Amino acid sequence: MDKAAYEALSLVLSPDPNIRLAAEARLKELEKLPEYPVTAINLKNYIETHWSPSSGKFIGPEPNFEIKAVVRELAFNGLSDPSSKIRVASAYVVSKIANNDWPEYWPNLLDLLVSQLKSGSPYQVHGSMRVLNEFFTNDITEQQFSQVTPLLLPELSRILQSDGIHSYKTRGRAITIFKQCIEILFMLKEEHPEAIEPFLKPILPEWLQIFSNILKKRTIDNEEIENEEFGLKLEIVKCLNYLINHFPKLITDYLLALLEPIWLDLVYQRDRYPSNLLILILDILFKFDYL
């Protein structure tokens, strides 16, 4: 790969807007030259239009293996950037690349993401969580699921409990990914019914206790934190609703302890809850004879 193209790609994710804009301009210039067919205005557009012929926006040409390796490294490193804009853009790029390359051409990606979660750095956790969210929505297979979740779930649990370290949105994304794991389990239930309870029973008590602890906490003197706290609790309610609808036998014994703080929140913040969510919670209470 030519040094000029490598340097431009290296700088396109710089947190310094002046450097980034200059790099994007340089990439645009290089793209017009026949000897530089593999560069693009920015990595996001580059992945969509050049990475794989399977993309609906592909215009080509497709980069060679060396350049793809460079772009993968650049995008992954961007997940740890202090700038949230760079992390978000990098997560988008990593997800797009993963759609085409994982696991065949990027086999260690999930290991790298889990390693980022273990680092404890809020930047790394935020960037990796965004990618993992996409993974569990679109890409993970049954075999990969069984390999990844034992490593991933303890880290998600730790992040969810890290109040004051990770943002409410990042902690909420931990709940979202946990819910996605439950959804995948339900899809596997028809083919492997015998495997579901042995998987869920050991982990549910811990997660439900964490949910209960969060639901019982209520901030009343800081509107900004109240709003963030409310959003986190909504993610818990969504997850509980899915569990109740699809695995009721496994959650029934825990429901009273979980629904009591939700009910108190409803009384305290009834104007804030969407009407459909209020109906949902009331339906749950009636269903299990708690009203």
Contact 73, 90 (CB under 8 A): no
Q: Which residue has the higher pLDDT, 103 or 210?
A: 210
The candidate with the shortest Cα–Cα distance to 101, out of 129, 61, 73, 123, is 73
> Does a structural domain hold residue 36?
no
Question: In whole angstroms, what separates CA 165 from the centre of its chain?
Answer: 17
Helix axes 84-101, 122-134, angle to 10 degrees: 40
What number is the average pLDDT over the span 99-120?
Answer: 88
Cα dihedral sign, 258-260-264-269: positive
Q: Backbone dihedral region of 62: left (phi > 0), alpha (psi from -120 to 50 degrees) or beta?
A: beta
Residue 201 lies in a domain: yes
Torsion angle (degrees, nearest 10) of CA 125, 130, 131, 133:
120
Structure tokens, 24? 């994007």
Structural domain count, the chain: 1
> What is the structure's pLDDT at 280?
64
> Do the domain assignments include residue 39?
no
What lies within 8 Å, CB to CB, of 80 at 6+ separation is 87, 116, 121, 123, 124, 127
Lowest mean pLDDT among 75-84, 110-119, 133-142: 133-142
Q: Which two tokens stand for residue 81?
A: 């950037």
Residue 86 in contact with residue 96, Cβ under 8 Å? Answer: no
Find the length of the chain. Answer: 291
Which domain range does residue 159 map to?
A: 151-291
Does 166 fall in a domain?
Answer: yes
Tens-digit pLDDT profile for residues 246-275: 998 899 889 888 888 887 877 776 666 666
Q: Is residue 229 part of a domain?
A: yes
Give the Cα separation of 25 and 16 in Å (integer): 14
Helix (H) or strand (E) segment spanning residue 241: helix 223-246
Does 195 or 152 have the greater pLDDT score? 152
Reported as a single tens digit per residue, the pLDDT across 12-57 is 656 678 887 887 777 667 656 554 443 333 577 778 877 888 878 8
**3-class secondary-structure state, position 215:** helix
* CA pair distance 164, 160, nearest whole angstrom: 10
What is the pLDDT, as a whole number, of residue 173?
95
pLDDT at 109: 92
Closest CA to 235 of 185, 287, 179: 179
Given this model, what pLDDT does residue 214 score? 95
Tell me the C-alpha distance between 175 and 235, whole Å. Answer: 6
**220 in a structural domain:** yes
The whole-number pLDDT of residue 92 equals 86
Q: Are 182 and 243 in contact (CB under 8 A)?
A: yes
Position 204 in a domain: yes
Whether the bond between 202 and the residue before it is cis, its omega within 30 degrees of 0, is: no
Burial grade of 188 (CB within 10 A; 0-12, 13-18, 19 or more) = middle
Instruction: With respect to residue 114, please indicate whether it lies within any of the assigned structural domains.
Output: no
Which pLDDT belongs to residue 273? 60
